Amino acid sequence: MTVDTAVDPAGGGAASEPELVQLLTPEGQRVPNEHYDALIDDIGTAEIRALYRDLVLSRRVDSEAVALQRQGELGLWASLLGQEAAQVGSGRALRQQDHVFPTYREHAVAWCRGVDPAQLLGLFRGVDQGGWDPRENNFHLYTIVIGAQTLHATGYAMGVQRDGALGTGDPDRDTAVVAYFGDGATSQGDVNEAFIWASVTNAPVVFFCQNNQWAISEPLERQTRVPLYRRAYGFGFPGLRVDGNDVLACLAVSREALQRARDGEGPTLIEAFTYRMGAHTTTDDPTRYRLGSELEHWRLKDPIERVKAYMVRGDMADQAFFDDVEAESESLAEHLRTACRQLPDPSPESIFDHVYVDPTPPLLAQRDEMKTYLDSFTDEEAQ
Q: What digits encode the pLDDT tens for the residues 180-213?
A: 999 999 999 999 999 999 999 999 999 999 999 9
Neighbours of 149 (CB within 10 A): 27
Whether residue 16 is contained in a domain is answered as no
118 belongs to a structural domain: yes
Q: Which residue has the higher pLDDT, 355 or 308?
A: 308
Q: Do 249 and 356 fall into the same domain?
A: no
**Coil, helix or strand at residue 127:** coil
Give the model's pLDDT for residue 378: 78
367 plus 303 within the same structural domain: no
DSSP 266: -
Per-residue pLDDT at 16 exceeds 70: no
Distance between CA atoms of residues 113 and 96, nearest Å: 8
Q: Is 276 one of the catalytic residues? A: yes
pLDDT bin (cut points 50, 70, 90) of residue 381 is low
The residues near 340 (Cβ < 8 Å, ≥ 6 apart) are: 68, 73, 74, 118, 121, 125
Helices within 132-286 (DSSP H only): 134-137, 148-162, 189-201, 231-235, 247-262
**Domain-located, residue 136:** yes
Residues 253 and 217 in one domain: yes
47 within a domain of the structure (yes/no): yes
Report the alpha-carbon distance of residue 169 to residue 190 in Å, rounded.
32
- DSSP secondary structure, 214-243, as one string: EETTEEGGGT-SS-GGGHHHHHTS-EEEEE
304 and 362: one domain? no
Q: Of the residues 30, 289, 313, 354, which is catalytic?
A: 289
Does the pTM of the predicted model rise above 0.85? yes
328 and 360 inside one domain: no
For residue 122, pLDDT beyond 80: yes
H or E element that contains 16: none
Catalytic residue among 60, 280, 306, 367: 280
Instruction: Check residue 21 and give its pLDDT.
Output: 97
Query: What angle is formed at CA 253 by the lines to CA 249 and CA 254, rounded to 5 degrees?
Result: 110
pLDDT reading at 18 higher than 90: no
Lowest-confidence segment of 154-168, 311-325, 348-362 by average pLDDT? 348-362
Please say if the pLDDT value at position 169 is more than 60. yes
Whether 280 sits among the annotated catalytic residues: the reply is yes
Domain count, the chain: 2
- Mean pLDDT score of the chain: 93
222 a catalytic residue? no
Same domain, 243 and 368: no
Q: Are residues 96 and 195 in the same domain?
A: yes
User: Per the residue annotation, which of 276, 306, 310, 367 is the catalytic one?
Assistant: 276
Expressed as residue numbers, the domain containing 220 is: 24-342
Q: Are residues 232 and 263 in the same domain?
A: yes
Report the CATH number that the domain containing residue 175 is assigned in CATH: 3.40.50.970
